[in-house]
Amino acid sequence: MRALIGTTLVLLGWVPLGFGQEKTSQTPGEVFGEQFKQLDRDGDGRLSKAEAGDRPFFARADADGDGMVTREEAQAAFVQARRLRQRLGQGVISRPGTAVPVGVVKSADVRYSEAEGGKTELLTLDVYRPKDAKGLSVMVYVHGGGWTRGDKAAVGEKMPFFCKNGYVFVSVNYRMLPETRVPDQAQDVAAAVAWVHDHAKEYGGNPDRIFLMGHSAGAHLVSVVATNETLLGNCGKDLSAIKGLIELDTAALDVVRTVASGQGMHAKVFGANPETLKLISPYEHVTPGKSIPPFMLVVADNNAGKLEQSNAMAKKLREAGVRADVVEAPDKTHGTLNQDLGKAGDKVTEKVMVFLGALMKGGER
């Protein structure tokens, strides 16, 4: 069992220094604090790649991709790993995913594209719909994972929440780096949106009320699709197919600037070709006269870089005549922002629903 747990924790991304052998006199918080302090050799409250060494937790814990792991990011990874270790020991974990609520029908692994190259088995989506759904709004969700990992099964509280509140919920997979390129990932998401537009009625949805939501890398991809009209155009659609968009905490709204900063993993992910960077940069595609949908841009954890990008993106959208709301969530980490969406009492969820409600009244586009 210990070998299984160790392997699983490596895959998860955090391996405690003592391989999970906590002192019985210590609380979990004390264990984490002691381990973080041992790694944080310069005492600045952040872990560099050099300080982390070859420990595999670093890439996954670095939620915002800035090349540093804050104490909060490390603690989130530690807590997740500790819970997994406990649940493995109890034999209650099988595979990731959220149970389908009573009264919700799931259509799994629906193929949405016949594109070639890379792992084409990822060109699928899951549709969750309330039983007897008819004419409901549709929320299309695109997961994050640094453009290299993630799965449509990880819907968290979002799927049951939106289905309960009268939505058809669609969760999308897309091809991953390094087998494919980011422009192809954006085209995958556009193909998924086009498929939803074509087939919404078959699943009880309204093709005139399709909303997009993405977290992290997924937030970047939906933002590209909603601003670069060529992507949907390649699928025979235009930007008017999207009613509104919720962008959850991405550092890649202005890709050109992000890569030029030299921080984080973005140069490796996006490359250096100027034309490619412009192609996949949402900021570059915001101009007046398009049917760009309203944006809600959510920033977690008082991240100055992301907040600056979000405000700049919002300013450019407004100048183009597009509604753009910036929501700060300083009490959330990059991870908990996504995990808590759909939970009762979550303030970001409440603001999302106000935003969506305003759009469905037909007053704005």
Domain 2-90 has CATH 1.10.238: yes
The answer to whether the CB of 138 falls within 8 A of the CB of 129 is: no
Rounded CA separation 204/315 (Å): 36
pLDDT at 78: 72
**Which pLDDT belongs to residue 17?**
44
- The CATH classification number of 104-360 equals 3.40.50.1820
Q: Give the ranges where 13-56 is alpha helix by DSSP (H).
A: 28-39, 49-52
Greatest pairwise CA separation for the chain in angstroms: 64
pLDDT tens track, the chain, 365 positions: 444 444 444 444 444 443 334 444 556 666 677 777 778 787 778 888 777 776 656 766 776 666 788 887 777 777 666 655 544 444 333 345 789 999 999 999 999 999 999 999 999 999 999 999 999 999 999 999 999 999 999 999 999 999 999 999 999 999 999 999 999 999 999 999 999 999 999 999 999 999 999 999 999 999 999 999 999 999 999 999 999 999 999 999 999 999 998 877 899 999 999 999 999 999 999 999 999 999 999 999 999 999 999 999 999 999 999 999 999 999 999 999 999 999 999 999 999 999 999 999 875 55
Amino acid occupying residue 113: S
Extents of the domains making up the chain: 2-90, 104-360
Question: DSSP labels for 219-261?
Answer: HHHHHHHTT-HHHHHTTT--GGG--EEEEES-S-SSHHHHHHH
pLDDT at residue 96 in the model: 56
CA distances to 193, 194, 204, 228, 338 from 107, in Å: 16, 17, 12, 29, 23
The radius of gyration computed from the CA coordinates of the chain, to the nearest angstrom, equals: 20
- Note if the pTM is more than 0.85: no
Cα 140 from Cα 237, distance rounded (Å)? 16
Backbone conformation region of residue 205, classed left if phi is above 0, alpha if psi is from -120 to 50, else beta = beta
Residue 126 CA, distance from chain mean position: 16
CA 19/CA 34 separation, integer angstroms: 14
- The gap between the terminal CA atoms of the chain, to the nearest Å, is 54
